[in-house]
Amino acid sequence: MNDAVNHPKHYTSSPAKCKLCEEPIECIDVTEHFDFCLGNAIKYIWRAGLKAEDKTIQDLEKAVWYINRHIQSLEKKLERP
């Protein structure tokens, strides 16, 4: 059964398993170690093609958007032109 709130299938469908407990790794277990923009980029890459096949390109474009946003933030901090 798909728990759309606590464990959505498109965020738990991973062949990766935890080395300690052999449980599948959930997207949130990875993304919580990153800042907001990079975590969201990972989230959209993770679910690309899993939630709705016709939304794969959109999910990847969203990932790029968040990565670009993160780059812009870093550039502002470094005061680069």
Give pTM, 2 decimals.
0.75
Q: How long, in residues, is the chain?
A: 81
Residue 23, helix vs strand vs coil: coil
**Which neighbouring-strand residues pair with 3?**
7
**Is the model's pLDDT at 64 over the cut of 60?**
yes
Q: Enter the tokens of residue 29.
A: 């277990």
Look at residue 67 in the predicted model and tell me its pLDDT.
Answer: 98
